[in-house]
Amino acid sequence: MENFDQIFTLIAEEEGISFNPDILGSGLFNILVLAGILIYTGKDFLGSILEERKSTIVQNVQDAENRLNEAQKRLTEAQKQLNQAHVVISEIKSETLNTKKIMLTADAVEARNDLKSRFERAILAFKSKERRIFFEIKEQITSLVLTRTVSRVKETFAQDKAAAKLINNTIRTLELP
């Protein structure tokens, strides 16, 4: 870059940069004629290349638009499927909650019935033991009453025997004199 600046500095100091009004001498006319000939003769060639390039660009733009439309259709379809999946998921969650509630209710009913039957068996066992204890106490009371009755009878009869002996002895003593 430094060398480039030096070249312009040298040219400006020695010859100077100025406008050359001589069209034929400056070569500008030659350059314009050459450019005109090239454009006129190469117009068909350049036109076909440019037309081909234009058609390629138009085709690429149309393909891109078609791909964009197809992608938008797929996106729309995917969003519909996503919404349907959300609906299905919410239905599954709802059914799961209902199933849980039903199962919990069934488990609660089963547990209640199980507890009820256990309590009924416990009450029956308690009543059975209560009856057995009642009969045992009744037997003991009956046995005790019989034992006391027998002992009182024995005492009573023992006293009667003593009284009978006394009476008999008294009668004997009265008869003897």
CB 25, CB 19: distance < 8 Å: no
Predicted pLDDT at 15? 56
pLDDT band for position 9 (cuts 50, 70, 90): low
Q: What are 161's two structure tokens?
A: 């025997």
How confident is the model over 63-116, as pLDDT tens digits?
A: 999 999 999 999 999 999 999 999 999 999 999 999 999 998 988 888 889 888
CB 11, CB 17: distance < 8 Å: yes
pLDDT at 29 over 80: no
Measured over the CA atoms of residue 75, residue 77, residue 82 and residue 86, the dihedral's sign is: positive
Q: How far is CA 23 from CA 32, 121, 131, in A?
A: 10, 130, 144
User: Strand, coil or helix: what is 17?
Assistant: coil
pLDDT at 12 over 60: no
Predicted pLDDT at 99? 92
How confident is the model over 142-160, as pLDDT tens digits?
A: 888 888 887 877 777 666 6
pLDDT band for position 26 (cuts 50, 70, 90): low
Which amino acid, one-letter code, is at 27? G
More confident residue, 123 or 154: 123
Q: How far is CA 141 from CA 7, 93, 138, in A?
A: 146, 70, 5
Rounded CA gap, 108 and 103, in Å?
Answer: 8
Q: How far is CA 116 from CA 21, 103, 123, in A?
A: 123, 19, 10
